[in-house]
Amino acid sequence: MNFKQLILTLPVLFMAGCTQVPVLQHKAVFEDFTYVGNDDYYNQHPLQADDEFYNPILPGWYSDPSICADGKGNYFMVTSTFGYYPGVPLFHSTDMLNWKQVGHILTRPEQLPLERSSVSTGGIFAASIFYNKYNDTYYMITTNMGRMMRGQQGNFIVKSKDPLNGEWSDPIWLEDMAGIDPSLFFDEDGKAYVVHCGMTRNPPYPGCNQMIMHEFDVENDKVVVESATVLAEGGAFPEDKPMALEGPHLYKWNGMYYLMCAEGGTELGHSEVIFRSNDLHGKFVAWEKNPILTQRTLGDRQDGVYCTGHADIVQDPQGGWWSVFLGTRRIDGEMENLGRETFMMPVRWSDDGWPYMTQGDDQVPLILKMSGAKRSEQVTFGNFSISDDFTLPKLADYWVSARDAATDKYSLTELPGTLVLSCDTMTLCNNQGSAAYVGRRLQHHQFRATTRMYFQPEAGEWAGMVLLKNENLQYYLAVGAGSIEVQKIGEKDTYEVLASAPLDGQKDFTLCIEGTNKGKTFDFSYSTDGGRTWNMLLAGADADYLATHYSTSGSSSFTGTTVGMYAVKR
């Protein structure tokens, strides 16, 4: 049996022996969800050794990665979540090759106020995680951009003594500290500091930023405002007028302090640069061979990585250094729907003590080795599949909703073993609240997502599967009163019907969305007999409609596409 035949049988296998699920008025009942990745690169380049892994190590939209070690054999990694809920996924590993999501850090409304935040441009920017050995406490620091844009304090910290089993604290808002991308540094003398990106007053050129450091009072969790020091301004080579010095991290190694920052914007000009000083409060000097990571000089490549930057580094158990950073995989050098992903590669050191990941025309590799580690059967990378029968008491960690928990829009207990979505009037085009939507990240260019749904809609009610880029860009495979449609949704919930088929009293639907043609197109199909036979509703829908296109400046999109279940009453 080939891959296509296997995947086509999955819905039948999952449904074998299932009893008929009741149909609820004004609600859609989803009995399962499956997701299968099938990217060509992984099929054509199987891993050969137990210590090998694929880049990206977190495929799909996991941007702005940050990593820390606690010296006890634990490694933790976080990424940004913007306007999605819950916020900041937390990954754990004991060897840095095998990662497992162990939850989210921001899981309560008071931790994650996202009112009026766009899923793709608002909310949580640049999350960073740290361990302070002096008080045995883990810290996550970040910016809530939605609050900041509304004139409220946006930078905050949450803390935990036990990130694997305990909840994180309520937000500690960092008063009187402007700017974005805050980061922490715990020095060897026990003192702590916050470094962040601030806008240069009266900048000599557009996009000129400063890296500003404050002392941080650990006992009282407060920034010492009067201690502000500018560590760097403009970039590694200010005479070249680089834009967007941001995403700072401080490290100490062999008696030297290192300041590592992103530079050049988060698109094709993205890079990582390094400065150092023998005095934390002294002059930081840029390395003459900056940038220490970039792919901007390489042009279009087969299976190439682009937009690399926003890095963090950590030591492994053997004393080597590794970096995590964001990057993108474009289709034919043009577009993608996966978003900015998390890559990992080793850090090298120059003879005179400077860390770097790439130099010149070095390419970010897609297959690497992690010596001393052994790949497990369940990994975060490559082609994989997931299935959910909604029998757990809460949603699995990979599910997200828009802006809040949406627990008033869905239920796992009304019909145990199912996900029930109410046909709510709040749509995914409205950023004022949450819609009846539960989704997950696309992690492959070529994928197949299916769900079995029981639904008997009244006029104006729709339910099914949606591909969500943002409030203005969506594809909806929707069952309504008397028809099933593929809707291309635009601004203000306007939509164009791309394909439609009549329905005659059916209540049981298996829906399927596939990424095809290397991710350039989407196919939409459905079954009314539990997946034994399929009807192609629309083949070859243009994936470019949802895609991110990259330029040498600017930020066209911060998130990738998510796919999931959606119900609405228009």
Cα distance between residue 176 and residue 173, in whole Å: 9
Q: In what order do the strands lie in the sheet with 341-346?
A: 306-315, 321-328, 341-346
Which of 165, 60, 169 shows the shortest CA–CA distance to 103?
A: 165
Cα distance between residue 405 and residue 414, in whole Å: 17
**Residue type for position 27:** K
Cis amide bond preceding 56, omega within 30: yes
Which of 449, 440, 406 shows the shortest CA–CA distance to 338?
A: 440
Q: What is the 3-state secondary structure (H, E, C) of 257-316?
A: EEEEEEECCCCCCCEEEEEEECCCCCCCEECCCCCCEECCCCCCCCCCCEEEEEEEEEEC
Cα distance between residue 397 and residue 102, in whole Å: 7
The first and second tokens of residue 513, run together, are: 């969305």
What residues are annotated to the active site? Answer: 64, 246
CA dihedral 512, 513, 517, 518 (to 10 degrees): -120
Sign of the torsion formed by the C-alpha atoms of 373, 374, 376 and 379: positive
Q: Are 183 and 262 in contact, with CB atoms under 8 Å apart?
A: no
The first and second tokens of residue 51, run together, are: 């210590």
Distance of CA 483 to the CA centre of its chain: 34
Measure Cα distances from 131 to 43, 223, 346, 374, 383 in Å: 38, 18, 21, 25, 32
